[in-house]
A and B are shown apart, each in its own frame.
Chain A
Amino acid sequence: MKTLLLAMFSMAIVDRVAVSVGNRIITESEIQLRIRLTAYENEETPVFDLLTRKTAVERLIDQKLVEREMDLGHYPRTPPAPGRETDKASLAAYSLSEADLQEDLARQADLLTFLNLRFRAGSERADVDLENWLKDQRRRTRIEYLEKELAP
């Protein structure tokens, strides 16, 4: 009994599926990471309220749709690599690691590649085309908010 109680009190959820996008997912930890990365890049204090989490989720959904398309189309991918000089202490303050930052930069590079190859980034219609494409992909993809409160 003592062991059981000890186990109950020491048990914690470390991660879980928050949203599924087709056969990809967004985990709770990924949402928090997204918020921390955004806050770090904007030099703001990370806010984890529902609205911010919802915004992060929608951004991650778009990201998942782009990643899926890039995988299917064999688009060239950017591997995470050391980039600009970073202050480890300030990263730690956001609970971020250098790897988190490098992966995020690689993701941004991938998005740019996708925009360039698919929608000719920089052209007048690129933004509109991307938006329409994302809308279309969302319509075709089964998106399930397992954490109901995150639904738009």
Chain B
Amino acid sequence: MRQVRHRYATSLLVASLVGLASPAASLAQRVVNIAFDPPPQPAVPLSIHEGDTYNAAAVRKSIEDLFATGRYSDIQVDSTNVEGGIELRFLTKNSWFIGHVGVESDFAEPPSPGQIISSARLELGTPFDEAQVIAAEENIRRLLASDGYSDSGVAHRLDYDNAFQQVRITFVIETGKRATYQKPAVTGDTTVLTEKQIDSATKWHKLLLPGYRGITQTRTRNGIDRVRLKYQNSDRLLATVTLDHLNPPAITVKPGPVVDVTASGAKVGRKQLKQHVPVFEEHTVDADLLSEGAQNLRDYFQARGYFEAGVDYRRTDEVDGKTVIEYLISLGRQHRFVKLDINGNKFFDQKTIRERMFLTPRSFESRRGRYSEAFERRDRETLEDLYRANGFRDVQVTSKVADNYRGKEGDIAVSFDIAEGPRYTVSSLLVFGTEKLNIDDTLQSLSSQRGQIFSEFNVAADRETVVRKYGENGFASTTFEWDAKPGAEPHTMDLRFTIHEGEQQFVRQIVATGLSTTKASLVNQQFSLNPGDPLSPSAMADTQRRLYDLGIFAQVNMAIQNADGVEDRKYILYDLEEARRYSITGGFGAEFARIGGANAVTDLSDPGGSPGVSPRVSLAITRLNFLGAGQTISFQSRLSTLQKRAAVSYFVPRLFDRPKLDANVSILYDDTSNTGTFRARRAEATAQLVQRRTKALTIFYRFNYRDVHVSNLNIDPLLLPRLAQSVRVGIASFNFVQDRRDDPTDPHKGVYNTLDLGVASRIFGSQTSFVRVLARNATYHRLGQKIILARETQFGVQPAFSIPANLDTTDPIPLPERFFGGGGGTQRGFPENQAGPRDTTTGFPLGGSALFFNNTELRFPLFGANVNGVLFEDAGNIYSSLSQMSIRVTQRDITDFNYMVHAAGFGVRYRTPVGPLRFDLAYSVNPPKYNGFPGSYADLVQCSTTRTCQASGQQISHFQFFFSIGQAF
């Protein structure tokens, strides 16, 4: 007993030394009051309550639960004796979290603010620690130095936001002038490349000017890579080029031995070796890379019919600075894989099976087929996996190879025998652990229902469905376990799903930071979540997508603040980086084609067009996020010898807060003479609503009002009074666009339909009345894996109504409102806008009131992955009117233009990031003949008055060529 007392006394003494109240001292004391300092109540319930008897474990648990919320960095509990017991006071110190990270700087990029922020490695919403900011400053300094801003001043400013417990971090950067490269000091072996050659290879020196360029990370990396490439081109594959110091640059080079990669036993070009042997790309020689090279070469030969090809390699030691790597190839016989049989398949059809297989018998695309033992083995496994995933757990797939098939040497045939076996079904499904969320509907939709197929694939899909359902309802840590055992009936399985739901989390508040000019209300409208909603990651991502879709943010960072904290209500953070508001783009180029009547001002002798160049310059200025409302105002202009155009447009996205409705208002001035027949000066105002009904379907509701002045008409002077009139047109139209193409710039499959319906009427202030219908249907089909059949049909008609008495009822549509066509996008048998009716005196095109074009293209690979070929056939024309439309292929006489022109040709497409570069050469089978006038317009006027004009018979050239960007359709 004495000993016990002694121990007790000791513990009391030590407890007092560490500053804690004695456990015994508080025993049996009643907790009268619990207070918090600072006052806000915690988000979690405490384990100790007012009225309880003091309990150290309960206090400890309360501290643990409070700390686990992540909202506090330190907690202490004091007790004070008060009347009737004790008062407990929780003294808390807030945690802080990383909020907006910004940059204040005034130097030229690079690095961009985004790069600087990224280098800081401060993650939005994570706990804030000032030591991280110090490390971030150092990272930023390093980044700046690598971009030529050494000795930069990097400081930071912290703004504490008590409301959301987050810290806004702003890096304030001061730099001097960007340093420039100097002649690099080269150390190491300079016998292979001299210092001068290395200096030149870096391209750090200004081109044709004295001095060196400014230091940037990209230039540095590219410079070093270019030196390395130069060594590689000298067969120094192991050369190392190291940048020891950037400013001033110091480079160490080790050329290493000459590595001679050769092949014996079969002819392999240098290009193939470089393509298949990875030592060229990796700048190192090791057993793995050499083996990979052997494997690649084996695949290369097997793809060429040498199915038994074997490839090994031999590496000699370095002698006199040279290492030889020799690939030893034994080709064996060249085969053709002529037949693939699949037997025993009942559940899957041949097509379903074959599209999953590597083995391919010979075809138009693959002359010798594709076969190897490895592929055969892989296909067996693939088929077994396919069947197992669909409930055939006992499936067995075997294969047999027949050489010299049907007595033909080198021909092989492969047959796969599939023993499907029984299909397993689910005899029962038990689901445990669904307590907090009702997922009955989800369970009904699972693939592994009773009586359904049992497969691990289905269970995996069910797992995905269940976890996603929980995730959408704020259960971020839901886990799903399953097990199965054989059921009572044969080929059945009893399934059991066990769900650990975890804790449900809700949205406490959504916090957007980083806004300087954008209105907060615009951002708030995009939120898919509201306070109190279950915290759904998909809804969060949806908000992020909506914010990006506004087009005014360069970056939208999204995070859950204090993600690891155990609290059920979370702040959702969106840190926004506003995009630059002004963008200016300029461009210049030239149209090089057979341009119709380019020389017509002085000479009418060539109305069908002649090869010409039309240079052009363009300028566009865009102001994003106008007035902070997410709207865009832009100015576009273009100046060329054929066209002068200036337009101002105002774009309002999400009109009336409807995410699928946009509006656009624009005014335009256009001065065009690209038909050669006339010059049209057009002043136009347009109001347009764009409604995105579905992902594929968009409807445009548009009203245009334009005033068009026509001049410089190259037509019979007698027609001038009728056709030279200026006209005002008010037209209301609907345009339906259905786009199901896989890639709009270079489609491989899908459908593209448009329908344009418009009415120009006096009701809209129009001086002329007509209806416009223009329909287009294009489809794209794959023939095999690489060949695409593309076709397009266009039909248009614009009948006039309410024709004024003074106008010719057969041809009442004003000249600039008529259909003009022909050229690279419609009918390649004509130069641009040269199809259809023509003036019988001068031969210049007059346009028409109806059109029909049908284009068919066969697109196929030509050279490598980037160059494709096209065979095409275009048919169609512009017609005077719908009643004159014809599929006749012969021209009745020199004044007949209402017949169908056919053209066929060949084209080349070179793939670029902005779409394929296009060159087409067309041969027109039946180009129109017409009368032209040999002389100037003054000559024409003179001879018209005396009726002495001499016509010259002309014809549109059989050959046409086109050069542009983008597919024809």
Residue positions of A touching B, CB distance < 8 A: 7, 10-17, 20, 22-25, 27-30, 32, 36, 45-49, 53, 74, 89-90, 92-95, 99-100, 142, 146
| Residues on the A chain within 8 Å of B363, using CB | none
Contact of B78 among A14, A32, A49, A94 (CB under 8 A): A14
- When each residue 51-76 of chain B gets 1 if its CB lies under 8 Å from chain A and 0 otherwise, what string results? 00010110110011001101000111
Known: A17-B63, A142-B127. 17 other contacts (CB 8 A): A7-B80, A10-B80, A12-B78, A13-B78, A16-B20, A16-B63, A16-B74, A17-B75, A20-B67, A23-B68, A23-B564, A24-B67, A29-B59, A30-B60, A45-B6, A47-B14, A94-B11
Q: Is the CB of B7 within 8 A of A45?
A: yes
- When each residue 551-577 of chain B gets 1 if its CB lies under 8 Å from chain A and 0 otherwise, what string results? 000000000000011100000000000
| Residues on the B chain within 8 Å of A28, using CB | 18-20
Name the distance in Å between B284's Cβ and chain A's nearest Cβ. 31
Q: Is the CB of B59 within 8 A of A14?
A: yes
Q: Can you give 21 contacting A-B residue pairs, CB < 8 Å? A: A7-B80, A14-B21, A14-B77, A15-B20, A15-B60, A15-B63, A15-B77, A16-B63, A20-B67, A23-B67, A23-B566, A25-B75, A32-B20, A36-B11, A45-B6, A46-B14, A48-B11, A53-B18, A92-B4, A93-B4, A95-B8
A35 to B26, CA, bound (A): 20
Q: Which residue of B lies closest to A7 (CB)?
A: B80
* Residue of A12, A13, A30 most packed against chain B (CB within 10 A): A12
Q: Is the CB of B15 within 8 A of A27?
A: no
A27 to B72, CA, bound (A): 14
Dominant SS among interface residues on chain A? mixed
B81 at the interface (CB under 8 A from A): yes
B616 at the interface (CB under 8 A from A): no
| Residues on the A chain within 8 Å of B68, using CB | 23-25
Name the distance in Å between B81's Cβ and chain A's nearest Cβ. 4
B208 at the interface (CB under 8 A from A): no
Contact of B79 among A14, A25, A30 (CB under 8 A): A14
Contact of A48 among B17, B26, B56 (CB under 8 A): B17
| Residues on the B chain within 8 Å of A17, using CB | 63, 67, 74-76
Q: Which residue of A lies closest to B92 (CB)?
A: A17
A22 to B7, CA, bound (A): 34
Name the distance in Å between B467's Cβ and chain A's nearest Cβ. 15
| Residues on the A chain within 8 Å of B398, using CB | none
| Residues on the A chain within 8 Å of B54, using CB | 14
A94 to B63, CA, bound (A): 23
| Residues on the B chain within 8 Å of A92, using CB | 4, 8
Q: Is the CB of B19 within 8 A of A13?
A: yes
| Residues on the A chain within 8 Å of B194, using CB | none
B24 at the interface (CB under 8 A from A): yes
Q: Which residue of A lies closest to B13 (CB)?
A: A48
Q: Is the CB of A14 within 8 A of B10?
A: no
Residue positions of B touching A, CB distance < 8 A: 3-8, 10-11, 14-15, 17-21, 23-26, 54, 56-57, 59-60, 63-64, 67-68, 70, 74-81, 88, 127, 479, 500, 564-566
A107 to B544, CA, bound (A): 44
Given A11-B78, A17-B67, A74-B500, A29 and B564 contact (CB-CB distance below 8 Å)? no
Contact of A15 among B11, B17, B59 (CB under 8 A): B59
Q: Is the CB of A11 within 8 A of B64?
A: no
Given A23-B566, A48-B18, A146 and B74 contact (CB-CB distance below 8 Å)? yes
| Residues on the A chain within 8 Å of B4, using CB | 89-90, 92-93
A99 to B7, CA, bound (A): 20
Query: Which 8 residue pairs across A and B have the least CB separation, nearest first?
Result: A48-B14, A93-B4, A12-B21, A16-B76, A10-B81, A25-B67, A14-B79, A11-B80
Contact of B10 among A20, A45, A89, A90 (CB under 8 A): A45
Name the distance in Å between B93's Cβ and chain A's nearest Cβ. 9
A32 to B20, CA, bound (A): 10
Given A12-B21, A48-B15, A22 and B500 contact (CB-CB distance below 8 Å)? no
Given A7-B80, A17-B76, A74 and B479 contact (CB-CB distance below 8 Å)? yes
Q: Which residue of B lies closest to A28 (CB)?
A: B20
Q: Is the CB of A27 within 8 A of B11?
A: no
Name the distance in Å between A67's Cβ and chain B's nearest Cβ. 11
| Residues on the B chain within 8 Å of A16, using CB | 20, 63, 74-77
A22 to B18, CA, bound (A): 24
A145 to B655, CA, bound (A): 55
A5 to B86, CA, bound (A): 16
Q: Is the CB of A29 within 8 A of B56?
A: yes
| Residues on the A chain within 8 Å of B15, using CB | 32, 48
Given A12-B78, A48-B17, A48-B18, A22 and B60 contact (CB-CB distance below 8 Å)? no
A11 to B6, CA, bound (A): 26
| Residues on the A chain within 8 Å of B24, using CB | 95
A27 to B78, CA, bound (A): 13
Name the distance in Å between A45's Cβ and chain B's nearest Cβ. 6
Q: Which residue of B lies closest to A89 (CB)?
A: B4
A3 to B80, CA, bound (A): 12
Given A23-B565, A24-B67, A74-B479, A14 and B7 contact (CB-CB distance below 8 Å)? no
Q: Is the CB of B80 within 8 A of A24?
A: no
Name the distance in Å between A131's Cβ and chain B's nearest Cβ. 26
A12 to B21, CA, bound (A): 6
A16 to B54, CA, bound (A): 16
Q: Which residue of B lies closest to A147 (CB)?
A: B18
Given A13-B20, A14-B79, A93 and B57 contact (CB-CB distance below 8 Å)? no
Name the distance in Å between B54's Cβ and chain A's nearest Cβ. 8
| Residues on the A chain within 8 Å of B18, using CB | 28, 32, 48, 53
A47 to B70, CA, bound (A): 33
A99 to B56, CA, bound (A): 12
* Residue of B10, B20, B25, B64 most packed against chain A (CB within 10 A): B20
| Residues on the A chain within 8 Å of B3, using CB | 93
| Residues on the B chain within 8 Å of A15, using CB | 20, 56, 59-60, 63, 76-77
Given A12-B78, A15-B60, A22-B564, A93 and B8 contact (CB-CB distance below 8 Å)? yes
Q: Is the CB of A25 within 8 A of B63?
A: yes
A17 to B67, CA, bound (A): 9
A18 to B136, CA, bound (A): 29
| Residues on the B chain within 8 Å of A47, using CB | 14
Q: Is the CB of A14 within 8 A of B566?
A: no
A128 to B75, CA, bound (A): 36
Name the distance in Å between B87's Cβ and chain A's nearest Cβ. 9
Name the distance in Å between A32's Cβ and chain B's nearest Cβ. 7
Name the distance in Å between A118's Cβ and chain B's nearest Cβ. 17
Name the distance in Å between A12's Cβ and chain B's nearest Cβ. 4
| Residues on the B chain within 8 Å of A90, using CB | 4
Q: Which residue of B lies closest to A48 (CB)?
A: B14
Name the distance in Å between B44's Cβ and chain A's nearest Cβ. 12
| Residues on the B chain within 8 Å of A142, using CB | 127
| Residues on the A chain within 8 Å of B6, using CB | 45
Name the distance in Å between A7's Cβ and chain B's nearest Cβ. 6
Q: Is the CB of B79 within 8 A of A11?
A: yes
| Residues on the B chain within 8 Å of A100, using CB | 57
| Residues on the A chain within 8 Å of B20, using CB | 12-16, 28-29, 32
